[in-house]
Amino acid sequence: MASCIFQVIGHLLMLILLLFSCCGHSQEPVLDCIPSLRVPRNTVWKSPEKETLKINCTVTTESHCWKNVSVSWCKIEDTDHCRPLNHSNHTGTGWRNITEKERKFFLIFWSLSLQDAGLYRCKSDGPVFTTSHVINVTVTVVSNEKKTTVNLDSEVLSKKNQTGIRDMEQSVVEPFYLVCSIVIVVALVLTIIILFKTIKNKDSEPSLEDKDLLTTVSYGAAKDSSLQD
């Protein structure tokens, strides 16, 4: 009877040891494969609407655990619920390998809209549920008024450029005409001075008749002086 009791106790101990060993082997890979999701606090992504935007979180785990890791994105609609994002024509996801233990997981907005603004999380669905810090997506609006302002500014700049060219041409032409005017005035003054001197010289010279008369008078005076002697 005692031997039977010892056998039962021995079987129970063996079963307990087997259970502990099985649980230990099954829990070890699960604890080893818990992924780490890293997003800096207060992360903000800002982009104009209708542009492509990529946000990301960094996923770290052991190299042999990737096949068991499931990561997805969700959008926070209120304080208690984060709505999962499904693949669509508007959004998509992608991976980029960094190292054997580290990868980046992307959420891609192909054509950003105002409805995409909000708070997003990166989350791991297995083997253990974990979430990242919040990413704030801000969408800026490009108004037609800004485009019109840009067009008006370009027109104003072109007009200013044309005005500047005309002013430069005038600044070059005006000194040219000024120099020409000065040269013409100087030439006229010199011409008038030369003509005036020429006319004055002609008036000061005696004519042929005056020269003959002076010669006769001087000859007669010389003859009278000789007779007196």
As a whole number of angstroms, the distance between CA 130 and CA 26 comes to 20
Pick the CATH number of 36-141 from 3.40.50.880, 1.20.1090.10, 3.40.47.10, 2.60.40.10: 2.60.40.10
As a whole number of angstroms, the distance between CA 103 and CA 108 comes to 16
3-state secondary structure the chain: CHHHHHHHHHHHHHHHHHHHHHHHHHHHHHHHCCCEEECCCCEEEEEECCCCEEEEEEEECCHHHHHHCEEEEEEECCCCCEEECCCCCCEEEEEEECCCCEEEEEEEECCCCHHHCEEEEEEEEECCCEECCCEEEEEECCCHHHHHHHHHHHHHHHHHHHHHHHHHHHHHHHHHHHHHHHHHHHHHHHHHHHHHHHHHHHHHCCCHHHHHHHHHHHHHHHHHHHHHC
Q: Per-residue pLDDT for the chain (229 aa), expressed as one digit of tens each? A: 555 554 555 545 555 644 444 444 444 455 678 899 999 999 999 999 999 999 999 999 999 999 989 999 999 987 778 999 987 888 999 999 999 999 999 999 999 999 999 999 999 987 788 999 999 999 999 776 554 433 434 454 455 556 655 665 555 556 666 776 787 877 787 888 887 777 777 666 555 455 454 455 454 554 555 545 4
Q: Do 44 and 133 touch, CB atoms closer than 8 A?
A: no
What is the chain's length? 229
Instruction: Tell me phi and psi for residue 46, to 5 degrees.
Output: -125, 135
pTM of the model: 0.52
Query: Which residues make Cβ contacts (< 8 Å) with residue 27, sequence separation at least 6?
Result: none
